[in-house]
């Protein structure tokens, strides 16, 4: 086993998991392009899009779980929101991840690019929700939340992303959820939805054992650190970080597809 290859995977996993805890995403918006482009750039063997989506699903599961536990102690977790979005997302992510095994790499990359573009557009729309200290007083449109969750889960399951990088902008803009409540609840929803994504990838047989183990270790170490820091960072800064990450990913993935 190449030690440098393992170190590279661990570094990528730490970066993705730290961002996961910081801004309430599963980490795949960082992990997916890094796993796809960085190893071959440094002379290592390239992962296929199928393999990247499967490895990402495993990382998302553990990163969202450990970060969610940190936010739960702060009272930001909105249980009704998690229920109304989590159930449709887990159904959609299972369906999407299972059928992704029949799609070519180009189609998986295109789905990822479209999701990231939609998230980027949402981040530039006005956010009218009031900020709250806890999730107990927050209200939302339940049918709209459930319908959006089903669409997000189905599409994101294809790329093993669990859809958190789109869930947070949807919560902020369309459901008008306060930022910290959106981050905490998104991590819980992501954890739930990743169960479906991981199950679908296991059935498809695309999960590689060694990369998965490396990223599990990285996730359990880095995601809680990002979550603890998120509680102290200014809300506008958190929104800006999320916007920059999404825009950078949109540019990179679309350039790759078009060129």
Residue of 160, 182, 158 lying closest to 242 (CA atoms):
182
Q: List the structure tokens of 44.
A: 């290592």
CB 57 within 8 A of CB 162: yes
CB 57 within 8 A of CB 195: no
Domain ranges of the chain: 3-258
Its pTM stands at 0.73
pLDDT digit string (tens) for the chain, length 259 residues? 588 999 999 999 898 888 888 887 666 767 777 888 888 988 888 888 778 878 888 888 888 888 888 887 777 888 899 999 988 887 887 788 777 777 787 787 787 778 778 877 887 777 665 555 555 567 889 999 999 988 888 877 776 555 667 888 889 888 888 888 888 888 888 887 777 667 777 777 767 888 888 988 998 999 899 888 988 888 888 878 878 877 877 787 777 777 7
Q: What does the DSSP assignment read for 56-112?
A: HHHHHHHHHHHHHHHHHTTT---HHHHHHHHHHHHHHHHHHHHHGGGS-HHHHHHHH
Q: How far apart are CA 42 and CA 57, in angstroms?
A: 24
């Amino acid at each position: 086993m190449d030690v440098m290859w393992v170190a590279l995977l661990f570094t990528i996993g730490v970066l993705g998991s730290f961002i996961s805890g910081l801004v309430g995403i599963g980490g795949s918006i960082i992990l997916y392009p890094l796993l796809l482009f960085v190893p071959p750039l440094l002379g290592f063997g390239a992962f296929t899009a199928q393999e990247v989506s499967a490895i990402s699903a495993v990382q998302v599961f553990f990163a969202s779980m450990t970060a969610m536990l940190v936010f739960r102690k702060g009272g930001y977790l909105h249980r009704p929101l998690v229920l109304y979005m989590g159930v449709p997302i887990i159904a959609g992510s299972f369906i999407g991840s299972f059928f992704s095994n029949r799609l070519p790499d180009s189609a998986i990359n295109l789905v990822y690019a479209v999701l990231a573009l939609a998230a980027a557009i949402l981040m530039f729309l006005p956010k009218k929700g009031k900020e709250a200290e806890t999730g107990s007083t927050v209200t939302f449109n339940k049918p709209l939340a459930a319908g959006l969750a089903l669409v997000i889960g189905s599409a994101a399951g294809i790329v093993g992303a669990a859809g958190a990088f789109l869930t947070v902008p949807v919560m902020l803009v369309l459901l008008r959820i306060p930022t910290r409540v959106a981050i905490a609840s998104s991590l819980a929803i992501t954890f739930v939805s990743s169960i479906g994504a991981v199950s679908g990838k296991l059935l498809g047989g695309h999960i590689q054992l060694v990369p998965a183990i490396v990223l599990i270790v990285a996730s359990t170490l880095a995601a809680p650190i990002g979550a603890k820091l998120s509680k102290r960072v200014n809300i506008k800064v958190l929104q800006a970080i999320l916007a920059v990450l999404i825009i950078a990913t949109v540019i990179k993935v679309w350039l790759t597809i078009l060129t």
